[in-house]
Amino acid sequence: MAALDQTIVSTALKSVVADLGHQDLVPWIGSAYLFTAAPFGALYGKFADIFGRKWVFVFALVVFELGSFLCGIAPNMATLILGRAVAGVGEVSGIFSCVLIIISDIVSIQDRGKYQGMIGACFGLSSVIGPLIGGAFSDHVSWRWCFYINLPLGVITVATVIAFLPFPIPEGSMASKIKRIDVFGIITLFASILCLITPLQLGGSVWAWNSAQTIIMFVLFPFCFAAFVYVELRIASDPIVPAGMFLNSSVPALLVVALCMGAGFFSAVYYISLFFQVVNGDSATSAGVQTIPLVFGVVILSIASGIYISKTGNYKRFYYIGPVFQIIGASLISTLNKDSNTAQKIFYLLIFGIGCGSLVQTRVLGIQASVPPKFIAVVTAISQTCMTLGGAIGVAISGTIFNNVMSNDVSNYPNLLSAVAQLQSHGIPADPTEVLSLSGMIKESGFLQNATAASEELGLVFNNAYKIAYLTLLVYPIIILIMTFFITQMKFGGKA
* Residue 31 confidence (pLDDT): 72
* Residue 433 confidence (pLDDT): 67
Show contacts of 339-342: CB within 8 Å, 24+ apart: none
Asked if the model's pLDDT at residue 3 lies above 70, the reply is no
Q: 333 pLDDT band (50/70/90 cuts)?
A: very high
* Residue 307 confidence (pLDDT): 86
Q: Which residue has the higher pLDDT, 361 or 329?
A: 329
Return mean pLDDT, the chain.
83
Closest C-alpha to 105, from 151, 170, 150, 61: 170
Of 178-192, 387-401, 431-445, the range with the lowest mean pLDDT is 431-445
Asked if the model's pLDDT at residue 429 lies above 60, the reply is yes
Of 127-141, 178-192, 306-320, 392-406, the range with the lowest mean pLDDT is 127-141
Predicted confidence (pLDDT) per residue in 174-233, tens digit: 888 888 888 999 999 989 988 988 888 777 767 878 889 999 999 999 999 999 999 999
* Residue 154 confidence (pLDDT): 87
As a whole number, mean pLDDT of residues 407-412 equals 79
Which of 110-114, 166-170, 280-284, 314-318 has maximum average pLDDT?
A: 314-318
Asked if the model's pLDDT at residue 469 lies above 80, the reply is yes
Asked if the model's pLDDT at residue 276 lies above 90, the reply is no
The share of the chain scoring above pLDDT 90, in percent, equals: 23
Asked if the model's pLDDT at residue 15 lies above 80, the reply is no
* Residue 494 confidence (pLDDT): 46
Predicted confidence (pLDDT) per residue in 128-153, tens digit: 667 667 777 777 788 888 888 888 88
Predicted confidence (pLDDT) per residue in 245-258, tens digit: 888 899 999 999 99
* Residue 1 confidence (pLDDT): 56
Predicted confidence (pLDDT) per residue in 51-110, tens digit: 988 889 999 999 999 999 999 999 998 898 899 889 888 866 678 788 888 888 888 777
Q: How many Cα atoms within 13 Å fall on the side-chain side of residue 400?
A: 15
Closest C-alpha to 1, from 54, 52, 57: 57
Domain locations in the chain?
2-182+237-405+467-484, 183-236
Q: 10 pLDDT band (50/70/90 cuts)?
A: low
Q: 426 pLDDT band (50/70/90 cuts)?
A: confident
As a whole number, mean pLDDT of residues 357-381 equals 88
DSSP string, 170-206: PSS-HHHHHHTS-HHHHHHHHHHHHHHHHHHHHBTTT
Whether domain 2-182+237-405+467-484 has CATH 1.10.1660.10: the reply is no
Of 63-77, 145-159, 311-325, 441-455, the range with the lowest mean pLDDT is 441-455
Of 9-18, 319-328, 414-423, the range with the lowest mean pLDDT is 9-18
* Residue 493 confidence (pLDDT): 47
Distance CA 432, CA 104 (A): 48
As a whole number, mean pLDDT of residues 323-341 equals 92
As a whole number, mean pLDDT of residues 354-371 equals 89
* Residue 104 confidence (pLDDT): 82
* Residue 324 confidence (pLDDT): 96
Asked if the model's pLDDT at residue 436 lies above 70, the reply is no
pTM above 0.85, yes or no: no
Q: 410 pLDDT band (50/70/90 cuts)?
A: confident
| Cα dist from 164 to 152, 171, 496, whole Å | 18, 21, 36
Helices (H), 74-108: 77-90, 97-106
* Residue 11 confidence (pLDDT): 64
* Residue 486 confidence (pLDDT): 94
Predicted confidence (pLDDT) per residue in 18-57, tens digit: 788 776 676 677 777 877 887 887 888 888 888 988 889 9
Task: Name the residue type at position 208.
Answer: A
Would you say 332 and 272 are in contact if contact means Cβ atoms under 8 Å apart?
no
